[in-house]
Structure 1
């Protein structure tokens, strides 16, 4: 009698089953996404280094041409005997009764290789009137005032940028300015000062006019302090993208493709300092009105913002391939995921390199198209079908367009990003509902 031994089915290796499971694929793709953050960080460091080089070029051009322009004047300076300090000489400073300023800044971009820096030449005209200084509020007796040794000062933070000689016409007489010694260590300015003259004779007509013209080579910003009892300022320039700052905003501004015009009208009641000072002048830099002449678009800042969304782009792209793999039962090797991830990283190196020779928009379009075409063609060989690669190309196009819109939006970036991510989550939930997660 023949005894048959039942055939035993080969036992399946649980480790092998696990490696081919959906859970294992999710883990591997997740780990790969985190690993790709390393080269993405290198890209961010590259963008930072190039932006630092841009700042270095701006500083070099600024130092050579002339730095930020900060100016105020004219200031009437009169010495007196300070009885509180045993008769030592002190100084009283008086600001104009009326001050009209007309500034015209002709700007341009200086290039150093592929980098640019904004510079300008500003012609500033000061016009106004002075009245006889009043010492009565300070309790200084007339005999202690040295009226014959009065001077006029012009305060500036940029001596290097001044072009040519500077002189003031005060009541019909011309007085030249020369650099003066720094009187107040807390003051951020350097003073130009005239030779001493008799202020009583100069103000013999009561309210007297003055005119002062100064020309500057400067860069980045032009700041003026409104020291008149009433200060009216008009500034014009051919710079198309000014940014107004400082302590006062212009009353009127007109910006066009040919430049801008801005007007300020500031009373002494609008500022927290008086018309006269005894002993020393305070630092008035915080009370200026400014115009910034900056390069309109910081390309490196936009590159940096784009790179911050790199993790989102990599994660969503891998998610698209993972969903296609789950729905179509097509096996995608981890090496193929690596190739796709590296292609996504290359987008950012292309973006920054093309941006340095063109605009950010053009660079974004070229880099985006290059990566989308590369991944789409690679997907045809992976997925063995043209339907899924077309879907991948459309999805990547929508994703890069979404990222570009977020980068351009500043005030509404969070709102647009939140709505977009919500829609993406809804799409993922919809397409993943048919996947059998138990396999």
Structure 2
């Protein structure tokens, strides 16, 4: 008795699995289009610049020391002592550093893709304690021991100097000094440097500041080379992601933008040891201790489309279950081909969604695709379910599911829990709706209808003979 019912369920299951093929193909298309977007960002970064990392300021003291070198003659094996000059440098860390960063946002077009970029106006100021300066001079004079001491210079590094919009100048103790290209650090020469004037022996606190107007894309990071560092950043971008070794101590985020403040001491950054390692040529620890902000799109169209496709099988399953319930309760024979066509209509929604969202706002693309597919199913199901009312109920339920799905895929942090709740509620509704159905009796009814169709076919065949 249950054989025909089992065959029916098996065929429906097979059709459901078959519909995984178009869903997988659509998911692959979303991945492909996402890769095109990534390539567009790469192309823009080549002409505009990519993410930027700025090391605030260090004072470099170059000097030379006399070093004895013993040379051995290869033939006579005679040893000769030579004195050679070896270039070295020491790095002075400012006692305090302050960065004020105002970031304005813009859009660059690459084909159909819109790439967000930024221009940051950085005001970098610092103070050097005169005792730190004098101690550095005495230490170098002691180590040089008759060697030459070069002119000190202030240096800052910029990961992509192409993004420097205007030529900056350094204000040093009230004097204006020009910046020159290159940081003059052997480990990272991307940046700027400015030679400093002779300070003499009588020093007060050394104040300096300079401004950088810097273009970049997506991420702006800082390396705070100071014993105490304070960074304040603000922008109209509503979706910041704070990255790196330190998080802001204060942050305000709204739809109008964000403001964030970092306060870092040498105890937290261990800047002294990192600079000492850099003097010896090992600067990796210094140049990887950055932190900053990344401008992200909270849920971009490809991520939203990918999330929606993941619920495609759930939609198809719920639709097939609803079909089956209609078939059982209203005694409507629905053919597997009709199941397949409804499944394909639901699958085509995702292809419409991704193609439309690349040209119009995502919410409008979602609304258009969901209304188009629902209207198509309404027209078709009017004949499959033998009535406009039944088709309208089914289409309204599908439209409600589309609405719930949009809320799920638009959520940043609650997408998983909302998806789980949707699945749970759908299962609960199915169980509640079918709680009074006697499945053994349903099997007998299906078997009876099958036998009636067979007998009708045989009678027709007999009359034809």
Indicate whether the TM-score tops 0.5.
yes
Residue 385 (structure 2) pairs with residue 383 (structure 1): yes
TM norm structure 1? 0.86
User: Structure 1 CA distance, aligned partners of 2:206 and 2:107?
Assistant: 41
Could you tell me how far apart the structure 1 residues matched to 2:292 and 2:392 are? 53
- Counting only pairs closer than 5 Å after superposition, residues 88-167 of structure 1 correspond to structure 2 as 88-130=86-128, 131=130, 132=133, 134-135=135-136, 141=143, 143=145, 146-167=148-169
SS at match of 2:443: coil
| CA displacement at 1:348 relative to structure 2 | 0.5
Instruction: Judge which range, 330-339 or 395-404, deviates more.
Output: 395-404
Look up the SS of the partner of 1:165 in the other structure: coil
Q: Distance in 2 between matches of 1:84 and 1:368?
A: 79
- From 397, 408, 411, the counterpart of 1:409: 411
Tell me, in whole angstroms, the C-alpha distance in 2 between the residues paired with 1:317 and 1:155.
59
Equivalent position of 1:66 in the other structure: 49
Report the aligned-residue RMSD.
2.7
Distance 1:59 1:395 in 2: 43
Q: CA deviation at 1:147?
A: 4.0
SS in 2 for 1:253: strand
Name the residue aligned to 1:192. Answer: 192
Cα distance in 2 between the residues matched to 1:316 and 1:27: 16
How far has the Cα of 1:139 moved from its partner?
A: 11
2:44 matched to 1:46?
Answer: no
Once residues 32 and 424 of structure 1 are traced to their aligned partners in structure 2, the CA distance between those partners, rounded to angstroms, is: 21
Q: TM-score, normalised by structure 2?
A: 0.82
CA contact (8 A) 1:92 1:280 kept: no
Task: Tell me which protein shows more helix as a share of its residues.
Answer: 2
Q: Deviation per CA, 1:348-389, whole angstroms, max 9, x where unpaired?
A: 111112211222222222211221222122111012123422
Distance 1:73 1:332 in 2: 71
Pair 1:312 & 2:314 matched: yes
Distance change (3 Å), C-alpha of 1:82 and 1:329: farther
CA offsets per residue over residues 131-189 of structure 1, 9 Å max, x none?
315347899536367444322211110111112323322234414222255512xx5x6
Which ranges of structure 2 fall in alignment gaps of 5 or more residues? 70-84, 448-465
Deviation at 1:408, TM superposition (A): 2.6
Corresponding residue SS for 2:218: strand
Q: How many Å apart are 1:57 and its aligned residue?
A: 1.6
Instruction: Indicate conservation of the 8 Å contact 2:65/2:143, yes or no.
Output: no
Asked if structure 2 preserves the Cα contact closer than 8 Å seen for 1:182 and 1:191, the reply is: no
Q: Which residue of structure 1 aligns with residue 58 of structure 2? A: 75
In 1, the alpha carbon distance for the partners of 2:330 and 2:140 equals 91
Secondary structure at the aligned position of 2:334 is classed as coil
In the alignment, the residues of structure 1 paired with residue 409 and residue 258 of structure 2 have an alpha-carbon distance, to the nearest angstrom, of 27
Distance 2:67 2:16 in 1: 75
Give the length in aligned residue pairs.
Answer: 417
- Whether the 8 Å contact between 1:126 and 1:213 is mirrored in structure 2 is yes
Q: Which residue does 1:280 correspond to in 2?
A: 281
In structure 1, the residue matched to 2:186 is: 183
